[in-house]
């Protein structure tokens, strides 16, 4: 990794002066973010990181003084061509030609591994990570929260896998509970085998809505539903086989839709797997003296003396969402023994997962420390022209058809081999970027207009930039090695800014993998695209002398490659034409 080579070289010098091992210094040497002001140093060393944080304020040396002293002792060499100071930082400028050559060479050499081969990741132990995400409820609404969970979980899985972890992607379906009693009873009355076959999710949802309404007016239906659920819990063959049928056709349809999103799962689990195991949990709670009962017979647990009780068992002895989650967590640990177990849901479930983890701890499971909930905020106003979102499919269709309409009216549209596929990829990019731009925990207001702008900070803009760079390669040729490239041709401010930005990619991946926030990557790629647009304008390839043209092509090709890599991590498939 190019950045590593420079960081190491700077660390070696610092290490001699500070008498500290270079490995300890490397982490405090960062690539300088590119700003509008342009031309700045390439790396900065944070002096505070080596000043003893434990010393009291009086004895702590003045940081600025230390910074200046340190900068004076450092010398320029074959790698570093300039040293100066900023606020608490010593700044390093790398030899211009060495910088351009090394960075581009590395991008070409490492390909999809650029940034990942960095030493920022080399000490990282390879872990087993189980990520549970999406987890919709059969027959109920696939709300925007499930869409968010799906794309966020997929991004976390992609990035974790890319940096070398072993990842299991799990979908934990809401496939149990009273709704299946209603659905079973409802299907016998309102259902159609044919509709179930052709459009399962839609049909099950319709039946569910219909029977829900009917049960409000008709006590009889309520009874039938309870009856059906009781049969289900007692494993009566007919009831189970109908339920199984609902589940199978639903999963089939989910898989088709997930495919459009580019998402797949290693495992489809579900609440239904944990009815019996929940009973074991109740026994365990009981044997530890944790299970109490209310007057009505509901099983409860107290997490603390003053806290309010948590229900873990219905008065008829059946399990609850919470109980099933306890059983599921233990089962996952038993079977996969992951080093990290992640749950991705909206933030309304924060306290639910806190409770799950706390009870597991009370039960003596030390591995609870390895469980983590990644919560995200709510999206308001995601509607299609037909109305509120019920099916994931509808959102994707809407995104796709809006892109098609827009491109039909735009003058710049190029002929594509498969306009539908292209529109689908652009639409998805738009949804993902909109969703990933802010902190995951923030709520946001959804707007199709904003999402689909081609020049704003959108997924459409990323796709547009990628397609543009791709067509540049088609027009002017692809470069397959950098060795002949003359780095002296890449000294314009626009070229340097791009190269400096490429230098930061590994730090961005590192940050994103530590806090699970995709916004670092998204904002990095948006910036990359803006810088590329500016450079494209000022640094033409066509019409330049061959040496210059080649160097610029090299740069743009490197930019496209990183853009594509980053987009793929986010779950976006780059398009070559639009
Ligand atoms: N099916 C649930 C819902 O839609 C989400 C499940 C989250 N995962 C879990 N292990 N509880 O609200």
DSSP run (H or E) holding 379: strand 379-380
- In the chain, the N- to C-terminal Cα span, in Å, equals 32
State the Cα angle at 140 between 134 and 142, rounded to 5°. Answer: 40
Alpha-carbon gap, residue 43 to 185, rounded angstroms: 67
Question: Residue 179 gets which letter from DSSP?
Answer: H
Q: Which two tokens stand for residue 515?
A: 């806090």
Q: Are 64 and 88 in contact (CB under 8 A)?
A: yes
Q: Are 28 and 46 in contact (CB under 8 A)?
A: yes
Q: Is residue 465 helix, strand or coil?
A: helix
Alpha-carbon gap, residue 250 to 176, rounded angstroms: 13
Q: Is 146 a catalytic residue?
A: yes
177 CB near ligand 1 (under 6 Å): no
Could you report the per-residue pLDDT of 483-538, keeping only the tens digit for each? Answer: 889 999 999 999 999 999 999 999 999 999 999 999 999 999 999 999 999 999 99
- 282: number of Cβ within 10 Å: 20
Q: Mention every residue, 6+ apart, whose C-beta is less than 8 A from residue 274.
A: 176, 319, 323, 324, 327, 328, 331
Alpha-carbon gap, residue 555 to 502, rounded angstroms: 10
pTM score, whole prediction: 0.94
343 CB near ligand 1 (under 6 Å): yes
Task: Report which ligand 1 atom has the smallest distance to the Cα of 321.
Answer: 11
Could you report the per-residue pLDDT of 251-272, keeping only the tens digit for each? Answer: 999 999 999 999 999 999 999 9
325 CB near ligand 1 (under 6 Å): yes
Q: Which of 11, 7, 12, 14 is nearest to 71 (CA)?
A: 14
Alpha helix ranges (H) inside 27-128: 63-73, 96-110, 119-122
Q: Are 340 and 516 in contact (CB under 8 A)?
A: no
Alpha-carbon gap, residue 463 to 563, rounded angstroms: 9
Alpha-carbon gap, residue 498 to 332, rounded angstroms: 45
Q: Mention every residue, 6+ apart, whose C-beta is less than 8 A from residue 330.
A: 277, 281, 360, 365
Please tell me the predicted confidence (pLDDT) of residue 55: 57
CATH topology of domain 422-570: Isoleucyl-tRNA Synthetase; Domain 1 (1.10.730)
Residue 570's Cα: distance from chain center in Å?
6
Distance in Å, CA 452 to ligand 1 centroid? 30
Alpha-carbon gap, residue 100 to 42, rounded angstroms: 12
Please tell me the predicted confidence (pLDDT) of residue 348: 96
Between strands 291-293 and 299-301, the pairing is: antiparallel
In a 10 Å sphere around its CB, with 0-12 CB exposed, 13-18 middle and 19+ buried, how is residue 51 labelled? middle
Q: Is residue 564 helix, strand or coil?
A: helix
Q: Which two tokens stand for residue 441?
A: 């925990």
DSSP run (H or E) holding 273: none
Between strands 128-132 and 166-173, the pairing is: parallel
Alpha-carbon gap, residue 337 to 334, rounded angstroms: 6
Alpha-carbon gap, residue 94 to 83, rounded angstroms: 9
**Active-site choice (27, 117, 128, 140):** 140
Same CATH fold assignment for domains 2-94 and 128-376? no
135 CB near ligand 1 (under 6 Å): yes
Task: Report which ligand 1 atom has the smallest distance to the Cα of 346.
Answer: 12
**Active-site choice (101, 146, 466, 536):** 146
Q: Mention every residue, 6+ apart, whose C-beta is less than 8 A from residue 108.
A: 479, 480, 481, 482, 554, 557, 558, 561
Task: Report which ligand 1 atom has the smallest distance to the Cα of 140.
Answer: 4
155 CB near ligand 1 (under 6 Å): no
Distance in Å, CA 355 to ligand 1 centroid? 14
Mutate to test the pocket of ligand 1, among 130, 133, 135 (most ligand atoms within 8 A of CB): 135
Q: Is 235 a catalytic residue?
A: no
Please tell me the predicted confidence (pLDDT) of residue 455: 85
For residue 378, how many C-alpha atoms fall within 13 Å in the half-sphere facing its CB?
4
Q: Are 440 and 377 in contact (CB under 8 A)?
A: yes
Task: Report which ligand 1 atom has the smallest distance to the Cα of 145.
Answer: 4
Distance in Å, CA 329 to ligand 1 centroid? 13
- 369: number of Cβ within 10 Å: 11
Q: Which two tokens stand for residue 390?
A: 């019920």
Pick 2-94's CATH classification: 3.40.50.2300, 3.20.20.70, 1.10.150.120, 3.30.1360.70: 3.30.1360.70
Per-residue pLDDT of the chain (578 residues; tens, 9 = 90+): 678 889 999 999 999 999 999 988 988 999 999 998 877 899 999 998 887 655 555 556 788 888 999 999 999 999 999 999 999 999 999 999 999 999 999 999 999 999 999 888 988 899 999 999 999 999 888 888 999 999 999 999 999 999 999 999 999 999 998 889 999 999 989 999 999 999 898 999 999 999 999 999 999 999 999 999 999 989 999 999 999 999 999 999 999 999 999 999 999 999 999 999 999 999 999 999 999 999 999 999 999 888 889 999 999 888 899 999 999 999 999 999 999 999 999 999 999 999 999 999 999 999 999 999 999 999 998 888 877 777 888 889 999 999 898 888 877 777 777 889 999 999 999 999 999 999 999 999 998 888 988 888 999 999 999 999 999 999 998 888 888 899 999 999 999 999 999 999 999 999 999 999 999 999 999 999 999 999 999 999 999 999 999 999 999 999 999 999 999 999 999 999 98
Domain assignments of the chain as residue spans, ordered by start: 2-94, 128-376, 422-570
Q: Which of 130, 204, 194, 135 is nearest to 168 (CA)?
A: 130
Please tell me the predicted confidence (pLDDT) of residue 328: 98
DSSP run (H or E) holding 241: helix 237-261
Question: Residue 363 gets which letter from DSSP?
Answer: T
Distance in Å, CA 344 to ligand 1 centroid? 9
Please tell me the predicted confidence (pLDDT) of residue 178: 84
Q: Which two tokens stand for residue 294?
A: 């209310």
Question: Residue 34 gets which letter from DSSP?
Answer: P
Superfamily name with CATH number, domain 128-376: HUPs (3.40.50.620)
Q: Is 140 a catalytic residue?
A: yes
């Amino acid at each position: 990794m190019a950045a590593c080579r420079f960081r190491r070289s700077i660390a070696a010098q610092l290490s001699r002066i500070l008498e500290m091992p270079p490995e300890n210094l490397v982490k405090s040497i960062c690539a300088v973010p590119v700003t509008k002001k342009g031309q700045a140093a390439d790396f900065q060393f944070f002096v505070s990181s080596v000043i003893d944080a434990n010393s009291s304020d009086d004895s702590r040396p003045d940081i600025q003084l230390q910074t200046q002293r340190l900068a004076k002792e450092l010398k320029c060499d074959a790698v570093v061509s300039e040293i100066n100071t900023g606020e608490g930082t010593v700044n390093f400028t790398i030899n211009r030609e060495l910088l351009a050559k090394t960075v581009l060479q590395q991008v070409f050499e490492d390909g999809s591994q650029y940034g990942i081969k960095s030493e920022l990741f080399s000490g990282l132990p390879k872990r087993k990570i189980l990520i549970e995400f999406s987890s919709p409820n059969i027959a109920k609404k696939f709300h925007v929260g499930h869409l968010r969970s799906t794309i966020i979980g997929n991004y976390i899985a992609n990035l974790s896998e890319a940096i070398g972890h072993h990842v299991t992607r799990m979908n934990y379906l809401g496939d149990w509970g009273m709704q299946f009693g209603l659905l079973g009873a409802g299907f016998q009355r309102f259902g159609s085998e044919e509709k179930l076959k052709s459009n399962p999710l839609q049909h099950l949802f319709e039946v569910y809505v219909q029977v829900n309404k009917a049960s409000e007016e008709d006590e009889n239906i309520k009874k039938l539903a309870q009856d059906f659920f009781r049969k289900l819990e007692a494993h009566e063959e007919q009831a189970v086989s109908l339920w199984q049928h609902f589940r199978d056709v639903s999963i089939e349809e989910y898989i088709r839709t997930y495919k459009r999103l580019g998402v797949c799962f290693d495992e489809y689990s579900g609440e239904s797997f944990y009815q019996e195991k929940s009973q074991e949990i109740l026994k365990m709670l009981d044997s530890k003296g944790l299970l109490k009962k209310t007057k009505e017979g509901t099983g409860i647990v107290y997490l603390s003396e003053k806290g309010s009780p948590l229900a873990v068992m219905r008065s008829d002895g059946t399990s609850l969402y919470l109980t099933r989650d306890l059983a599921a967590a233990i089962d996952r640990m038993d079977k996969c023994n992951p080093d990290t177990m992640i749950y991705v849901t909206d933030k309304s479930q924060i306290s639910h997962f806190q409770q799950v983890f706390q009870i597991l701890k009370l039960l003596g499971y030390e591995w609870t420390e390895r469980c983590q909930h990644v919560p995200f905020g709510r999206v308001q106003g995601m509607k299609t022209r037909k109305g509120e979102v019920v099916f994931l499919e509808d959102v994707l269709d809407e995104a796709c058809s809006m892109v098609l309409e827009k491109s039909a009216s735009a003058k710049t549209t190029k002929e594509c081999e498969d306009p539908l596929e292209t529109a689908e990829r652009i639409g998805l990019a738009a949804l993902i970027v909109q969703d990933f731009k802010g902190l995951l925990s923030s709520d946001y207001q959804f707007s199709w207009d904003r999402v689909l702008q081609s020049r704003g900070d959108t997924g459409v803009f990323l796709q547009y930039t990628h397609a543009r760079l791709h067509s540049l390669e088609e027009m002017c040729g692809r470069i397959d090695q950098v060795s002949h490239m003359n780095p002296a041709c890449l000294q314009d401010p626009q070229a340097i800014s791009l190269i400096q930005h490429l230098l930061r990619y590994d730090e961005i991946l590192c940050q994103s993998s530590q806090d699970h926030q995709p916004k670092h990557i998204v904002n990095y790629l948006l910036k990359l695209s803006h810088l590329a647009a500016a450079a494209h304008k000022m640094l033409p390839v066509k019409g330049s002398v061959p040496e210059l043209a080649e160097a610029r092509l090299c740069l743009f090709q490197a930019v496209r490659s990183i853009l594509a890599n980053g987009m793929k991590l986010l779950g976006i498939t780059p398009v070559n034409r639009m």
